[in-house]
Amino acid sequence: MRESRLVSHGIEHRVGYGIALKVGAVLSFTIMGALIKATGSRVPTGEVVFFRSFFAVPVLVGYLAYIGQLHEGVRTDRFLGHMWRGVIGTTAMGLMFTALSLLPLPEVTALQYATPLFITILAAIMLGERVRLFRISAVLLGLIGVTVVLYPRLTSLGSEIGHLEAIGALVMLGSTLAAALAQVQVRNLVATERPATVALYFSFSSTLLSLLTLPFGWVVPGVQDATLLILCGLVGGAGQGMLSTSYRYAPASVVAPFDYASIFFATAIGMVFFDEVPTSTTLLGAAIVIAAGILIIWRERQLGLNRSKSKGFKQPPA
Protein backbone atom coordinates (compact mmCIF):
# COMPACT_ATOMS: atom_id res chain seq x y z
CA MET A 1 0.00 0.00 0.00
CA ARG A 2 2.77 2.39 0.94
CA GLU A 3 4.68 1.56 -2.27
CA SER A 4 1.58 2.18 -4.42
CA ARG A 5 1.11 5.57 -2.74
CA LEU A 6 4.71 6.51 -3.47
CA VAL A 7 4.31 5.47 -7.10
CA SER A 8 1.04 7.38 -7.32
CA HIS A 9 2.67 10.46 -5.79
CA GLY A 10 5.54 10.21 -8.30
CA ILE A 11 3.12 9.98 -11.21
CA GLU A 12 1.12 12.95 -9.94
CA HIS A 13 4.33 14.97 -9.65
CA ARG A 14 5.31 14.12 -13.23
CA VAL A 15 1.81 14.88 -14.52
CA GLY A 16 1.88 18.26 -12.76
CA TYR A 17 5.21 19.02 -14.42
CA GLY A 18 3.78 18.03 -17.80
CA ILE A 19 0.81 20.34 -17.29
CA ALA A 20 3.12 23.21 -16.30
CA LEU A 21 5.15 22.67 -19.48
CA LYS A 22 1.98 22.64 -21.60
CA VAL A 23 0.77 25.91 -20.07
CA GLY A 24 4.22 27.38 -20.68
CA ALA A 25 4.03 26.27 -24.32
CA VAL A 26 0.57 27.81 -24.74
CA LEU A 27 1.79 31.09 -23.22
CA SER A 28 4.85 31.04 -25.50
CA PHE A 29 2.74 30.56 -28.63
CA THR A 30 0.38 33.36 -27.57
CA ILE A 31 3.33 35.71 -26.97
CA MET A 32 4.69 34.67 -30.37
CA GLY A 33 1.41 35.69 -32.00
CA ALA A 34 1.51 39.03 -30.20
CA LEU A 35 5.07 39.67 -31.39
CA ILE A 36 4.02 38.97 -34.98
CA LYS A 37 0.98 41.20 -34.63
CA ALA A 38 3.21 43.99 -33.29
CA THR A 39 5.07 44.07 -36.62
CA GLY A 40 1.80 45.02 -38.30
CA SER A 41 1.91 44.48 -42.05
CA ARG A 42 5.34 46.09 -42.41
CA VAL A 43 7.01 42.73 -43.05
CA PRO A 44 5.69 40.28 -45.70
CA THR A 45 4.14 37.08 -44.37
CA GLY A 46 6.71 34.80 -46.03
CA GLU A 47 9.52 36.72 -44.38
CA VAL A 48 7.80 36.45 -41.00
CA VAL A 49 7.54 32.67 -41.49
CA PHE A 50 11.28 32.58 -42.23
CA PHE A 51 12.21 34.41 -39.01
CA ARG A 52 9.78 32.28 -36.98
CA SER A 53 11.23 29.05 -38.38
CA PHE A 54 14.92 29.86 -38.73
CA PHE A 55 15.44 31.17 -35.20
CA ALA A 56 13.49 28.26 -33.71
CA VAL A 57 16.06 25.78 -35.06
CA PRO A 58 18.93 26.61 -32.63
CA VAL A 59 16.50 26.44 -29.69
CA LEU A 60 15.26 22.99 -30.73
CA VAL A 61 18.79 21.74 -31.48
CA GLY A 62 19.92 22.98 -28.06
CA TYR A 63 16.96 21.25 -26.43
CA LEU A 64 17.76 17.93 -28.11
CA ALA A 65 21.42 18.25 -27.17
CA TYR A 66 20.45 19.01 -23.55
CA ILE A 67 18.33 15.86 -23.23
CA GLY A 68 20.97 13.81 -25.07
CA GLN A 69 18.79 13.02 -28.10
CA LEU A 70 20.36 15.19 -30.80
CA HIS A 71 21.63 12.25 -32.85
CA GLU A 72 18.32 10.38 -32.61
CA GLY A 73 16.35 13.59 -33.17
CA VAL A 74 18.05 14.35 -36.49
CA ARG A 75 17.94 10.77 -37.77
CA THR A 76 14.83 9.83 -39.76
CA ASP A 77 13.71 7.32 -42.37
CA ARG A 78 10.63 9.35 -43.31
CA PHE A 79 12.08 12.42 -44.95
CA LEU A 80 9.25 12.77 -47.50
CA GLY A 81 6.66 12.48 -44.73
CA HIS A 82 8.33 15.36 -42.88
CA MET A 83 8.43 17.44 -46.07
CA TRP A 84 4.73 16.87 -46.70
CA ARG A 85 3.95 17.87 -43.11
CA GLY A 86 6.18 20.92 -43.66
CA VAL A 87 4.26 22.07 -46.73
CA ILE A 88 0.90 21.81 -44.98
CA GLY A 89 2.14 23.25 -41.68
CA THR A 90 3.90 26.16 -43.36
CA THR A 91 0.69 26.97 -45.25
CA ALA A 92 -1.24 26.96 -41.96
CA MET A 93 1.39 29.18 -40.34
CA GLY A 94 1.41 31.70 -43.18
CA LEU A 95 -2.38 31.95 -43.20
CA MET A 96 -2.47 32.46 -39.43
CA PHE A 97 0.18 35.20 -39.60
CA THR A 98 -1.89 36.93 -42.29
CA ALA A 99 -5.01 36.70 -40.11
CA LEU A 100 -3.11 38.24 -37.17
CA SER A 101 -2.60 41.40 -39.22
CA LEU A 102 -6.34 41.65 -39.95
CA LEU A 103 -8.10 40.48 -36.78
CA PRO A 104 -7.85 41.03 -33.00
CA LEU A 105 -5.62 38.52 -31.19
CA PRO A 106 -8.46 37.00 -29.06
CA GLU A 107 -10.54 36.41 -32.19
CA VAL A 108 -7.70 34.64 -34.00
CA THR A 109 -7.24 32.49 -30.88
CA ALA A 110 -10.94 31.64 -30.72
CA LEU A 111 -11.03 30.57 -34.38
CA GLN A 112 -7.90 28.48 -33.82
CA TYR A 113 -9.96 26.26 -31.53
CA ALA A 114 -11.69 24.86 -34.63
CA THR A 115 -8.56 22.79 -35.35
CA PRO A 116 -9.48 19.78 -33.11
CA LEU A 117 -12.92 19.71 -34.75
CA PHE A 118 -11.40 19.46 -38.22
CA ILE A 119 -8.89 16.87 -36.94
CA THR A 120 -11.79 14.62 -35.88
CA ILE A 121 -13.38 14.93 -39.33
CA LEU A 122 -10.14 14.43 -41.27
CA ALA A 123 -9.00 11.51 -39.09
CA ALA A 124 -12.25 9.73 -39.94
CA ILE A 125 -11.79 10.40 -43.67
CA MET A 126 -8.02 9.88 -44.01
CA LEU A 127 -7.13 7.44 -41.20
CA GLY A 128 -10.37 5.48 -41.10
CA GLU A 129 -11.01 6.29 -37.44
CA ARG A 130 -14.52 5.46 -36.32
CA VAL A 131 -16.49 8.52 -35.25
CA ARG A 132 -19.68 7.72 -33.40
CA LEU A 133 -22.69 9.87 -32.63
CA PHE A 134 -21.19 11.43 -29.50
CA ARG A 135 -18.17 12.90 -31.28
CA ILE A 136 -20.23 13.86 -34.34
CA SER A 137 -22.53 15.82 -32.02
CA ALA A 138 -19.53 17.48 -30.35
CA VAL A 139 -18.10 18.48 -33.74
CA LEU A 140 -21.46 19.96 -34.82
CA LEU A 141 -21.63 21.90 -31.53
CA GLY A 142 -18.12 23.21 -32.14
CA LEU A 143 -18.97 24.28 -35.68
CA ILE A 144 -21.92 26.23 -34.28
CA GLY A 145 -19.45 28.04 -32.02
CA VAL A 146 -17.19 28.81 -34.98
CA THR A 147 -20.19 30.21 -36.85
CA VAL A 148 -21.00 32.45 -33.87
CA VAL A 149 -17.47 33.88 -33.99
CA LEU A 150 -17.51 34.28 -37.77
CA TYR A 151 -21.01 35.72 -38.17
CA PRO A 152 -20.28 39.37 -37.27
CA ARG A 153 -17.33 39.42 -39.69
CA LEU A 154 -19.22 37.88 -42.59
CA THR A 155 -22.11 40.34 -42.15
CA SER A 156 -19.85 43.42 -42.18
CA LEU A 157 -18.72 43.19 -45.80
CA GLY A 158 -20.18 46.58 -46.66
CA SER A 159 -17.36 48.73 -45.29
CA GLU A 160 -13.69 48.58 -46.28
CA ILE A 161 -12.60 47.64 -42.75
CA GLY A 162 -15.35 45.05 -42.53
CA HIS A 163 -14.25 43.60 -45.85
CA LEU A 164 -10.67 43.14 -44.62
CA GLU A 165 -11.85 41.61 -41.34
CA ALA A 166 -14.11 39.19 -43.23
CA ILE A 167 -11.14 38.15 -45.35
CA GLY A 168 -9.09 37.74 -42.16
CA ALA A 169 -11.76 35.49 -40.65
CA LEU A 170 -11.91 33.28 -43.74
CA VAL A 171 -8.10 33.16 -43.95
CA MET A 172 -7.94 32.06 -40.30
CA LEU A 173 -10.55 29.38 -40.96
CA GLY A 174 -8.35 28.13 -43.81
CA SER A 175 -5.40 28.12 -41.41
CA THR A 176 -7.26 25.93 -38.91
CA LEU A 177 -8.20 23.47 -41.66
CA ALA A 178 -4.58 23.29 -42.87
CA ALA A 179 -3.36 22.93 -39.26
CA ALA A 180 -5.77 20.03 -38.75
CA LEU A 181 -4.47 18.35 -41.91
CA ALA A 182 -0.91 18.85 -40.63
CA GLN A 183 -1.81 17.30 -37.27
CA VAL A 184 -3.29 14.26 -38.98
CA GLN A 185 0.06 13.88 -40.75
CA VAL A 186 1.82 14.29 -37.38
CA ARG A 187 -0.31 11.44 -35.98
CA ASN A 188 1.02 9.31 -38.80
CA LEU A 189 4.63 10.40 -38.22
CA VAL A 190 4.76 9.95 -34.44
CA ALA A 191 3.96 6.27 -34.87
CA THR A 192 7.67 5.86 -35.72
CA GLU A 193 9.25 9.29 -35.05
CA ARG A 194 10.02 11.20 -31.85
CA PRO A 195 7.87 14.33 -31.30
CA ALA A 196 11.06 16.42 -31.07
CA THR A 197 12.16 15.06 -34.45
CA VAL A 198 8.85 16.10 -35.99
CA ALA A 199 9.21 19.61 -34.52
CA LEU A 200 12.83 19.93 -35.69
CA TYR A 201 12.16 18.83 -39.26
CA PHE A 202 9.16 21.14 -39.42
CA SER A 203 11.39 24.10 -38.55
CA PHE A 204 13.88 22.97 -41.21
CA SER A 205 11.24 22.54 -43.91
CA SER A 206 9.30 25.73 -43.12
CA THR A 207 12.56 27.72 -43.21
CA LEU A 208 13.35 26.39 -46.68
CA LEU A 209 9.79 26.79 -47.96
CA SER A 210 9.56 30.38 -46.74
CA LEU A 211 12.54 31.25 -48.97
CA LEU A 212 10.31 30.54 -51.99
CA THR A 213 8.53 33.84 -51.21
CA LEU A 214 11.72 35.90 -51.69
CA PRO A 215 10.76 37.01 -55.25
CA PHE A 216 7.49 38.46 -53.90
CA GLY A 217 9.22 41.36 -52.17
CA TRP A 218 10.98 40.84 -48.88
CA VAL A 219 12.04 43.97 -47.02
CA VAL A 220 14.95 44.90 -44.78
CA PRO A 221 13.20 45.19 -41.39
CA GLY A 222 14.02 48.03 -39.04
CA VAL A 223 15.75 47.35 -35.74
CA GLN A 224 12.47 47.13 -33.84
CA ASP A 225 10.78 44.76 -36.31
CA ALA A 226 13.92 42.61 -36.62
CA THR A 227 14.08 42.29 -32.83
CA LEU A 228 10.41 41.32 -32.66
CA LEU A 229 10.82 38.71 -35.39
CA ILE A 230 13.94 37.15 -33.85
CA LEU A 231 12.17 36.98 -30.49
CA CYS A 232 9.21 35.40 -32.28
CA GLY A 233 11.44 32.55 -33.52
CA LEU A 234 13.15 32.04 -30.16
CA VAL A 235 9.89 32.07 -28.21
CA GLY A 236 8.24 29.78 -30.76
CA GLY A 237 11.14 27.34 -30.56
CA ALA A 238 10.97 27.34 -26.75
CA GLY A 239 7.23 26.70 -27.00
CA GLN A 240 7.79 23.73 -29.31
CA GLY A 241 10.38 22.31 -26.92
CA MET A 242 8.05 22.63 -23.93
CA LEU A 243 5.16 21.16 -25.92
CA SER A 244 7.18 18.08 -26.93
CA THR A 245 8.45 17.58 -23.38
CA SER A 246 5.00 17.95 -21.80
CA TYR A 247 3.86 14.76 -23.53
CA ARG A 248 6.78 12.85 -21.96
CA TYR A 249 5.43 13.57 -18.48
CA ALA A 250 1.65 13.46 -18.95
CA PRO A 251 -0.84 11.76 -21.31
CA ALA A 252 -2.08 13.84 -24.23
CA SER A 253 -5.67 13.60 -22.95
CA VAL A 254 -4.58 15.23 -19.66
CA VAL A 255 -2.63 18.18 -21.08
CA ALA A 256 -4.79 18.83 -24.17
CA PRO A 257 -7.51 20.87 -22.37
CA PHE A 258 -4.88 23.38 -21.27
CA ASP A 259 -4.70 24.59 -24.88
CA TYR A 260 -7.77 26.63 -24.01
CA ALA A 261 -5.84 28.73 -21.50
CA SER A 262 -4.68 30.65 -24.56
CA ILE A 263 -7.97 32.60 -24.69
CA PHE A 264 -7.15 34.13 -21.30
CA PHE A 265 -3.58 34.94 -22.32
CA ALA A 266 -4.71 36.34 -25.68
CA THR A 267 -7.42 38.47 -24.07
CA ALA A 268 -5.03 39.93 -21.48
CA ILE A 269 -2.29 40.65 -24.03
CA GLY A 270 -4.78 42.04 -26.55
CA MET A 271 -6.30 44.43 -24.01
CA VAL A 272 -2.98 45.63 -22.55
CA PHE A 273 -0.85 45.98 -25.69
CA PHE A 274 -3.29 46.36 -28.60
CA ASP A 275 -6.35 47.92 -26.95
CA GLU A 276 -8.43 44.97 -28.19
CA VAL A 277 -11.45 44.11 -26.07
CA PRO A 278 -13.04 40.82 -27.18
CA THR A 279 -16.70 41.12 -28.13
CA SER A 280 -19.41 39.16 -26.35
CA THR A 281 -19.95 37.23 -29.61
CA THR A 282 -16.30 36.17 -29.73
CA LEU A 283 -16.37 35.02 -26.09
CA LEU A 284 -19.66 33.16 -26.56
CA GLY A 285 -18.44 31.41 -29.69
CA ALA A 286 -15.12 30.57 -28.02
CA ALA A 287 -16.96 29.09 -25.00
CA ILE A 288 -19.07 26.87 -27.29
CA VAL A 289 -16.02 25.67 -29.25
CA ILE A 290 -14.07 25.04 -26.03
CA ALA A 291 -16.96 23.00 -24.63
CA ALA A 292 -17.07 20.92 -27.82
CA GLY A 293 -13.28 20.44 -27.75
CA ILE A 294 -13.31 19.28 -24.15
CA LEU A 295 -16.10 16.81 -24.95
CA ILE A 296 -14.02 15.37 -27.81
CA ILE A 297 -10.94 15.13 -25.57
CA TRP A 298 -12.98 13.43 -22.84
CA ARG A 299 -14.46 10.97 -25.32
CA GLU A 300 -11.05 10.11 -26.79
CA ARG A 301 -9.72 9.55 -23.26
CA GLN A 302 -12.61 7.17 -22.50
CA LEU A 303 -12.03 5.27 -25.73
CA GLY A 304 -8.30 5.05 -24.92
CA LEU A 305 -9.04 3.64 -21.47
CA ASN A 306 -11.45 1.10 -22.93
CA ARG A 307 -8.85 -0.02 -25.50
CA SER A 308 -6.25 -0.40 -22.72
CA LYS A 309 -8.63 -2.52 -20.65
CA SER A 310 -9.50 -4.73 -23.60
CA LYS A 311 -5.80 -5.32 -24.36
CA GLY A 312 -5.10 -6.24 -20.75
CA PHE A 313 -8.17 -8.48 -20.46
CA LYS A 314 -7.55 -12.21 -20.23
CA GLN A 315 -10.29 -14.73 -20.82
CA PRO A 316 -10.78 -16.78 -17.64
CA PRO A 317 -10.35 -20.54 -17.98
CA ALA A 318 -13.52 -22.46 -18.78
- Please write the tens of the pLDDT for every residue from 31-47: 999 999 999 889 999 99
Write the pLDDT tens digit of every residue in 111-125. Answer: 999 998 898 888 888
Host domain of residue 214:
18-307
User: Which of 228-232, 290-294, 297-301, 313-317 is predicted with the least confidence, judged by mean pLDDT?
Assistant: 313-317
d(CA 167, CA 285): 19
Residue 12 located in a structural domain: no
d(CA 187, CA 123): 9
Residue 153 located in a structural domain: yes
Q: How many domains in the chain?
A: 1
Residue 107 located in a structural domain: yes
DSSP code per residue over the chain: -HHHHHHHHHHHHHHHHHHHHHHHHHHHHHHHHHHHHHTTTSS-HHHHHHHHHHTTHHHHHHHHHHTT-HHHHH--S-HHHHHHHHHHHHHHHHHHHHHHTTS-HHHHHHHHTTHHHHHHHHHHHHS-----HHHHHHHHHHHHHHHHHHHHHHT-TTSHHHHHHHHHHHHHHHHHHHHHHHHHHHHHHTTTS-HHHHHHHHHHHHHHHHGGGGGGT-----HHHHHHHHHHHHHHHHHHHHHHHHHHHS-HHHHGGGGGGHHHHHHHHHHHHS--PPPHHHHHHHHHHHHHHHHHHHHHHHHHHHHHHHHH--PPP-
Residue 193 located in a structural domain: yes
Of 18-22, 188-192, 252-256, give the range with the top mean pLDDT.
Answer: 18-22
pTM of the model: 0.85
Residue 173 located in a structural domain: yes
d(CA 199, CA 245): 11
- Higher-pLDDT residue of 306 and 58 is 58
Averaged confidence pLDDT in the chain:
86
State what percent of residues in the chain have pLDDT above 70. 89
Residue 72 located in a structural domain: yes
Across residues 87-110, what is the average pLDDT?
A: 95
Q: Which amino acid is at 38?
A: A
Across residues 188-213, what is the average pLDDT?
A: 89
pLDDT at 140: 93
Q: Which amino acid is at 290?
A: I
Q: Which amino acid is at 197?
A: T
Residue 128 located in a structural domain: yes
Residue 8 located in a structural domain: no
Give CA 276 to chain center in angstroms: 22
